[in-house]
Amino acid sequence: MQAELIVDARNAVGESPVWVPEENALYWVDIPAGALQRWSAETGQLDAWKTPEMLACIARHVDGGWVAGMESGFFRLHPRNDGSLDSEPLAHVVHARTDMRLNDGRCDRQGRFWAGSMVLDMGANAAVGTLYRYSAGQRGPLDARLNGFIVPNGLGFSPDGRTMYLSDSHPQVQQIWAFDYDIETGTPSNRRVFVDMNQHEGRPDGAAVDADGCYWICANDAGLIHRFTPDGRLDRSLAVPVKKPTMCAFGGPRLDTLFVTSIRPADDHDPQSLAGGVFALAPGVNGLPEPHCND
């Protein structure tokens, strides 16, 4: 089950892969570069668009284009064929500090967009990260839904939408939690430890949920993607040829390909290094279509 390099992207921090079936294409971001990127599975062509702020996470919009979590809040993005990109602020967040941005995010099964915030310097060990929810029609500053995180990450939702998963990637935490999730109100409750990643290789990073309800989490620093069953049992681990995988997503015509983004550390000057690339694996299971944001 060898990982295939599909794009030698050399992203500083590749994140948030999303498969778009009608385009037969994968989109993802490079956070510090403020870049929205697209790879065509049919032609292999790579396209990129520059955003006005660091770009952390994306979700498709029901009316076309994208909703994105950036530095100051949530935006609508419309990439154009000529390489230009239109951006429109939707709702801003009031960070606890000035040196913060949004991080990992995705939609719940009902189309509400969730994203967490973090301090840019992970070494600050600042537990001021907050989880925000953006849903249709909201404007102005968003209210915090959950807080007290250092690096909130690993958002995912069970196939029926009634369980929400969330992790904290920071080396001092390394936990994955499960929540009961009210699909009518979009409210998480009953937080409990789902997986203690201190007992496994790697730090928990971005995640995806497959059609069987199993949770796939990128194990940063270990070059692995772990699959956990709904009861929190490690089912299997797949290797990628880089140390720092960041987030995974199911795609391909049958949603049976697992795409994985990665980090290229600033001190990696090896021309043979694949770090920062985008990879594809055949995990032997199928994923679920990503919901559209319904703003």
User: Of residues 30, 108, 168, 205, which has the active-site annotation?
Assistant: 205
Domains of the chain: 4-281 (2.120.10.30)
pLDDT over 80 (residue 138)? no
Nearest of 82, 79, 84, 34 to residue 60 by alpha carbon = 79
Whether the per-residue pLDDT at 295 is higher than 90: the answer is: no
pTM of the shown model: 0.96
What's CA 93's distance to the chain center, in Å?
19
Mean residue pLDDT of the chain comes to: 95
Predicted confidence band at 140 (pLDDT cuts at 50, 70, 90)? Answer: low
Q: CA-to-CA distance for 75 and 80, rounded, in angstroms?
A: 16
Q: Is the pLDDT of residue 135 over 90?
A: no
Q: What is the pLDDT of residues 154-186, one digit of tens each?
A: 999 999 999 999 999 999 999 999 999 999 999
To the query of whether residue 205 is one of the catalytic residues in this protein, the response is yes
Using CB atoms within 10 Å of the CB of residue 161, give its burial: 0 to 12 exposed, 13 to 18 middle, 19+ buried: middle
Beta-bridge mates of residue 86: 78
Integer CA distances (angstroms), 43 to 6, 25, 30, 102, in order? 12, 10, 21, 32
DSSP-assigned letter for residue 211: T
**Confidence at residue 294, expressed as pLDDT on a 0 to 100 scale:** 86
- The pLDDT tens digits of the residues spanning 205-264 come to 999 999 999 999 999 999 999 999 999 999 999 999 999 999 999 999 999 999 999 999
Task: Give mean pLDDT, residues 73-87.
Answer: 95
Q: 149, 168 in Cβ contact below 8 A? A: yes
Instruction: Report which DSSP code applies to 239.
Output: E
Residue 104 CA to residue 269 CA, distance in Å, equals: 27
> What 3-state DSSP class applies to 21?
helix
